């Protein structure tokens, strides 16, 4: 049974690596990289780092040798910091959509290039790595889980003030606060999109068609961002609930912790799949790059200069 599970895990990891690399390659091939493009590359890199620094070492402890506590802690660190980075990048994607819809002139001047994106991505990676490293220096603690000892995490591993305060801070700043901020920005953006659609429908001049096409373009990217956000939080919410169980009630069913941790890792594959399936520009780039096809030019591409 372990051999079968090990093969399935290896195939899953391989699929995660290939899909995320495809996203990175396709975005790099686009040219004229925008704020959104850089954040998608950063998000894919964070998922790859979770595979390399988290999932691989956890699998090593599960199927080969779990005697090394240091490797176990490295796996816990890898999963933690990559999750932090992913959440920050998702907040950046939502902010980009919000500004592009609510303040298109500001988006035009700031989000067309990659300079602002790098000023966002690099500090966020440094911040998340530092935050995930704090348990190594006494605030919080990476420890083996009670039942699945091959896995290390900060969830429910300590009862001291330092461990609890770290867990409280982690849940607040990397789960509950991002949910509130993202929800607010998405709701505001959706309200503006609805107003834009009504304005386009009420007009009878030649600008109606242009406004409608811009609305369609923005709505497509808004839906894409929503899907990525929803899937990420759906996959991580069970693990966060387990963390709340340990943090607030000192206990949580071990099988719930195990399954929620595995469910959280499903984002390694689902995020790039969603992005590929829903992003028409990326699909065209992949076809042209991998299969040598030259897709027909559509008017959607003409709105990059307007909306980004």
**134 vs 79 pLDDT, higher one:** 134
| Distance from C-alpha of 93 to C-alpha of 181, rounded to nearest angstrom | 12
Q: How confident is the model at residue 211 (pLDDT cuts 50, 70, 90)?
A: low
b (16+ CB within 10 A) / e for 39-76: bbbbbbbbbbbbbebbbbbbbbbbeeebeeeebbbbbb
Residue 276, in any domain of the structure = yes
297 in a structural domain: no
Residue 298 covered by a domain: no
Alpha-carbon gap, residue 284 to 39, rounded angstroms: 20
**Residue 225 neighbours by CB distance under 10 Å:** 23
CA distances from 13 to 16, 57, 169 (A): 5, 12, 30
**How many domains, in total, are found in the chain?**
1
CATH number at residue 68: 1.20.1070.10
Could you tell me the two tokens for 142? 């990476």
Give the range of the structural domain holding residue 188, as residue numbers without chain letter: 1-282
Q: Which of 31-35, 100-104, 129-133, 297-301 has the highest mean pLDDT?
A: 129-133
Tell me what percent of the residues of the chain surpass a pLDDT of 90. Answer: 6
Residue 135 per-residue DSSP state: G
Asked whether residue 177 is assigned to any structural domain, the reply reads yes
Structural domain includes residue 193:
yes
Q: Does residue 296 fall inside a structural domain?
A: no
Residue 263, phi-psi category: left (phi > 0), alpha (psi -120 to 50), beta (remainder):
alpha
Tell whether 288 is covered by a domain.
Answer: no
* % of the chain with per-residue pLDDT over 70: 68
**Could you count the other beta carbons within 10 Å of the beta carbon of residue 23?**
25
Tell me if the pTM is above 0.85: no
Domain assignment present for 199: yes
* Angle at 262 (CA atoms; ends 124, 134), nearest 5 degrees: 35
Q: What is the mean pLDDT of residues 294-308?
A: 42
């Amino acid at each position: 049974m372990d051999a079968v599970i090990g093969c399935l895990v290896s195939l899953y990891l391989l699929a995660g690596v290939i899909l995320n690399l495809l996203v990175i390659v396709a975005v790099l091939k686009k040219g004229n990289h925008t704020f959104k493009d850089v954040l998608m590359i950063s998000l894919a890199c964070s998922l790859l780092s979770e595979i390399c620094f988290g999932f691989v070492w956890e699998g090593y402890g599960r199927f080969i040798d779990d005697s090394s506590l240091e490797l176990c802690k490295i796996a816990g660190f890898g999963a933690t910091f990559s999750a932090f980075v992913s959440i920050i990048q998702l907040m950046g994607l939502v902010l980009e959509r919000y500004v592009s819809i609510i303040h298109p002139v500001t988006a035009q001047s700031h989000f067309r290039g990659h300079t602002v994106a790098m000023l966002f991505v690099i500090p966020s990676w440094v911040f998340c790595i530092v935050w995930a490293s704090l348990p190594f220096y006494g605030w919080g603690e990476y420890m083996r889980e009670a039942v699945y000892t091959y896995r290390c995490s900060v969830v429910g591993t300590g009862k001291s003030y330092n461990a609890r305060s770290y867990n409280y801070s982690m849940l607040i700043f990397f789960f509950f606060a991002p949910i509130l901020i993202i929800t607010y920005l998405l709701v505001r953006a959706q309200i503006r999109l609805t107003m834009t659609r009504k304005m386009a429908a009420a007009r009878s001049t030649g600008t109606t068609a242009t406004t409608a096409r811009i609305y369609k373009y923005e709505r497509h990217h808004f839906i894409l961002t929503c899907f990525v956000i929803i899937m990420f939080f759906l996959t991580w919410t069970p693990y966060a609930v387990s963390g709340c169980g340990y943090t607030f009630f000192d206990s949580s069913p071990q099988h719930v912790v195990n399954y929620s941790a595995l469910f959280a890792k499903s984002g390694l594959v689902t995020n790039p799949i969603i992005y590929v399936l829903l992003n028409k520009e990326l699909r065209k780039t992949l076809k042209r790059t991998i299969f040598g096809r030259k897709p027909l030019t559509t008017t959607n591409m003409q709105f990059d200069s307007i909306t980004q």
